[in-house]
Structures are given as C-alpha cells and as structure tokens.
Amino acid sequence: MPSIIRPALVVFGALSLLCGVLYPAAVTGIGRAVFAHQANGGLVEAGGKTVGATLIGQPFSNPGYFWGRPSATAPMANNGAGSAGSNQGPTNPALADAVRARIDALKQADPDNRAAVPVDLVTASASGLDPDISLAAAYYQAGRVAAARRLPQQEVRALIDANGQQPLFGVLGEPRVNVLALNRALDARSPLVR
C-alpha cells in the first residue's frame, strides 16, 4: 500500500501545480498582454471615473437612451456577480407574463411605434448580462430616442449604423450594437434634454 501512496501524492502535487497555478497564471498573463481591455473588464471611463463596462449590460430606463436586453440577474438587473438566466421555459406562464409586461412597457414608452417588437427587447439572455442588442432592436427604439433628444430620426439611425458591429468573419453571430457605446455616442452628439 505505501508503494502506491507516494506516486499518487507526487502526481496529485504535480497536477495541482500545473492546473491550479501555472496554467491559470499563463492564461491570465497572455490575456492581459494580448487583450488588455477585455481582461480588465472592458471598463469605460469618462472624466476620471468609471461609467460602465462594454462587456456587461447596463440598466438604461430613460426614454432618451437606448435600452438593452432585460436582465434576469439577482438581486438587481445587470449584476455581474449574479450572472444567471431566469431558467423559465417557453411553456412557463411566468415567462409569458414577463414578456407581455415588457411589450406593454415598450408600447407605453413609444405609443406611435407600430413595428413588431424585436425578441431581444423582451427576453433575457442566458447570462442576464448581454451588453449588445440587435440592429433591429436599436432601429425599433430610434423614434422614441429621437423624440426625447429632439433629433431627426435619420441622425439617430446614422449613429446606430456607425456603432453597429457585423458578425465575426462575416458569419459568426448577428449584426449588433453595444448599448453603452451607442448611448455614449448619442450623449456626445446631443446631450439629453431634460
């Protein structure tokens, strides 16, 4: 028995060192060297203070801003420490009620908008932290944002186009726009009229 304990402890120690220390340190070092912005959370600063992160959704509720995807994180929306989906399936009545309430809120915020509501404006992502919305979701909100900012809708649509991102390599993912980046560009173009 003692003859197998020593090799087992040596293998355990070697694998612990390799997988628990060396590999994570190497991956972290490479990440910080090659993808410094992303490895540090994608934080966005303005005027010497952090105003958000490009990698985590931000809660916007003012009609003069584009709204992101709903978040199912707890205890508050877009909580990076509580990343999780709602785990509500398509037959769950609570999901149907939540989607109806979100559609009603969008219609109430922009009663003249007769377009179909894009699905990503009424359903949470799996992580609950999605920082992007589809271009369709951004265009859907353009009229409300333009009215609140007293801007021509064409200018708001041009900002969406300028900040839009195409699929990676032209095929991976969908055309999208980062909500924080779009709202910051909007603030730079025309500060919110209160």
Q: Which residue has the tokens 């603030």?
A: 187
Number of folded domains in the chain? 2
Residue 11's Cβ-side half-sphere holds a number of Cα atoms within 13 Å equal to 5
The residues pairing with 165 across neighbouring beta strands, listed in sequence order, are: 176
19 is a domain residue: yes
194 is a domain residue: no
pLDDT of residue 49 exceeding 70? yes
pLDDT of residue 45: 83
* pLDDT tens readout for residues 128-182: 788 999 999 999 999 999 999 999 999 999 999 999 998 888 888 889 999 999 9
Alpha carbons 67 and 70: distance in angstroms, whole number: 9
Clarify whether residues 9 and 98 are in a common domain.
no
* pLDDT tens readout for residues 61-84: 899 999 999 887 777 777 777 777
Q: What's the token pair of residue 95?
A: 């999901």
Clarify whether residues 16 and 48 are in a common domain.
no
Clarify whether residues 34 and 46 are in a common domain.
no
Clarify whether residues 53 and 123 are in a common domain.
yes
Q: What is the CA radius of gyration of the chain?
A: 22
118 is a domain residue: yes
Domain extent at residue 36: 1-40
Clarify whether residues 74 and 150 are in a common domain.
yes
Clarify whether residues 9 and 102 are in a common domain.
no
146 is a domain residue: yes
Clarify whether residues 155 and 61 are in a common domain.
yes
How many DSSP H helices and E strands does the chain contain?
7, 5
Mean of the per-residue pLDDT values of the chain: 88
pLDDT of residue 89: 82
- State mean pLDDT over 2-15: 90
Q: pLDDT band for position 194 (50/70/90)?
A: low
Clarify whether residues 104 and 166 are in a common domain.
yes
Clarify whether residues 21 and 65 are in a common domain.
no
96 is a domain residue: yes
Alpha carbons 145 and 139: distance in angstroms, whole number: 10
Clarify whether residues 79 and 106 are in a common domain.
yes
pLDDT of residue 106 exceeding 60? yes
Q: What's the token pair of residue 134?
A: 């589809």
Clarify whether residues 87 and 14 are in a common domain.
no
Note if the pTM is more than 0.85.
no
Classify strands 132-134 and 49-53 as parallel, antiparallel or unpaired: unpaired
